[in-house]
Amino acid sequence: MVNVIEQFERFIELRDITVKSNGRVILNIQHEIIPADRITACIGPNGAGKTTLLKLLDGLIKPDTGTVSYSFANKTALLLHHTPMIKASTRANISMVKDTDSAITAAEIEQVIEQVGLRNLVSSPAHKLSAGERQKLCLGRAMLQKPNLVLLDEPTANLDPNTTEQVEEIIRKFDTQNTNVIFSSHQLAQVKRLAQYIIFIDHGEIKEKGPVGPFFDDPQTQAAKRYLHQELVIN
């Protein structure tokens, strides 16, 4: 597919990327432009390379070959599954971000606790929170880091519909605060609700990308058509 750099105010450029693990190629991306100025969803089959791509964009892992370059001074926050909690209160766990940025104020922490809906749980042991409450806590920590790009790996996996709705609303708050989001998801209904742009990845390659509407209405590759058909039949 053709990359059009001009349409993105901020973007990430990948060139000649390979990422390997135990001799197996996890990502193989020759040249792609990924927008970083809107909510973008990364979708594809299990094992396609979505989580690895998010780690690469964050800088958590380095490619075996190739380069990742940003058109902007990037400050990212990455949220993965199963983020561990220390055996302390919810407030103490959110406040951990002060260890890396002492400029964060107590007032900012209290404001974020309110924003993510954890006011009634500030004194509760964080490791005993529900999955949804832990996810809100992690999103709150991300907010306090003041990133300009948040990377979320399956942010509502295993959450009930009500909590999913609450987490999605927090994700939208990032967008309104000039913090853009790239998230992975296997929930196509969620992708349609949240995302403006799609990256479809399969077997470690970005096979197709573009605005959400055209992607769902008229996918251009056989791989995307097959994936959408299988997901819609299953779900």
Q: Tell me, what amino acid is at 136?
A: K
**Residue 175, pLDDT score:** 78
> Distance (Å, rounded) from C-alpha 108 to C-alpha 1?
43
Using alpha carbons only, give the angle 154, 48, 21 rounded to the nearest 5 degrees. Answer: 105
Q: How much is the pLDDT for 233? A: 54
| Nearest one of 134, 211, 199, 142 to 173, comparing CA atoms | 142
- DSSP assignment string, 133-167: HHHHHHHHHHHHT--SEEEEESTTTT--HHHHHHH
Do the Cβ atoms of 169 and 186 come closer than 8 Å? no
pLDDT score for 7 = 79
Query: For residue 155, what pLDDT is reported?
Result: 93
Q: What is the mean pLDDT of each run of 10 residues along the chain (235 residues)?
A: 61 95 92 93 93 95 96 92 83 90 91 92 91 92 92 92 92 86 93 95 94 92 89 57
Q: How many C-beta atoms surround the C-beta of residue 129 within 10 A?
A: 18
Apex CA 185: angle with CA 181 and CA 190, to 5°?
A: 85
User: In angstroms, rounded to a whole number, what is the distance separating the alpha carbons of residues 193 and 166?
Assistant: 13
Confidence at residue 4, expressed as pLDDT on a 0 to 100 scale:
44
Res 232: pLDDT: 61
Amino acid of residue 82: H
What digits encode the pLDDT tens for the residues 141-193?
Answer: 999 999 999 999 999 988 899 999 999 999 998 878 888 999 999 899 999 99
CATH superfamily of 5-234: P-loop containing nucleotide triphosphate hydrolases (3.40.50.300)
pTM over 0.85: yes
pLDDT of residue 102: 87
> Quick one: pLDDT at residue 76?
93
